[in-house]
Structure 1
Amino acid sequence: MMMMENLDMVNRDPNNINDHLKTAFDDVLAEVDGTHSIDCIWKASYACFHGCKSCFYNIFTFFCGIWMACFWGLDFAVISFAHVWCVTPTLRMCMIHCNLCQKTFGTWINCCCAPCCEVFSLIFSNIRVEKK
C-alpha cells in the first residue's frame, strides 16, 4: 500500500495512464503557412488557452477532486471485495465441478464408446474398394 511519504508530487502519472491527455497549445490550435493571425492575437490566444486550462482544471479539482477520489476508492474497494469474497471462490468452485465432469465424461467415453469404435474400426478396416 502506498504511504503518504512515498507519494511523488512531481511525477503524478508514473505509469503513464493518461498519456492521451497530454495536450499543448500546438496540439490543439495551429495556423497553416499563409494564414496567420496578428502576432499579439496569437500570443494572447496562447496565454488564454493555458490560463483557462489551468484555472478551470484547478477549480474542478478543488470542488470535485476529493469526492471523486472517495468515489473511486469506494468503487475499487467494492470490486476488490467482490473478487476476493465472491468471484474468485465461485470460479474456483466451477473449475472443481468442471474438472469432475470432465473426468466422468472422459471415463465414460473410454469405457463405453471407445471399445465400440475400436470394434467398428476393425470391422471396416478390412473393406477394400477397387475400381473396375
Structure 2
Amino acid sequence: RRLPYLKREGIRLLAQPYASEQEAASAILKGLAEFYQQAYPDLYRAQAAAVQQATMELQQIYARNIFPEMRVDWRGYPNHIGHLNSEGCFRCHDGLHQSSDGKVITKDCNACHTILGQGPPEELLAT
C-alpha cells in the first residue's frame, strides 16, 4: 500500500456530481492532492509521482464510466454484462426512442461499443 485510503478517496471523488468531464478531471486532481497534502504531507512529498499516477487513473476511470452530460454513471447502470440485472443500454437503445425529426436511436451495440468477443469463456480463449 503506497497510498493510504486511495480507494476510499477515489470513490469519494468519483461519486461527486460534476457538470462535465473537464470539471471532474480538475476536481479529482485538486481533491486527491489536497487529501494527501493535508493528511499525509511527508508521504505526499515522497510519493508525488504515485499521487499523480493515481490521479490520472481516477480521471480515466471517470472518463470511461461516467457521462455527466447524459446523467449516466455506474450507480444507474451497475452491471451491463449480459444486461441481466438492469436494462442498461436498452433503456434508451430499445428501437423505440426517437428524435423530433423521427430518427430512432439504434439498437446496434457496435454504434457505441467495440465488441472484442462474445460467447462462452471456453470459446474465447486466445489461439
Structure number, greater radius of gyration: 1
Shorter chain as denominator, the TM-score bin is under 0.3
Q: Which one scores higher on RCO, CA 8 angstroms, separation ≥ 6?
A: 2
Structure that is richer in helix per residue: 1
Relative to the length of structure 1, the TM-score reads: 0.25
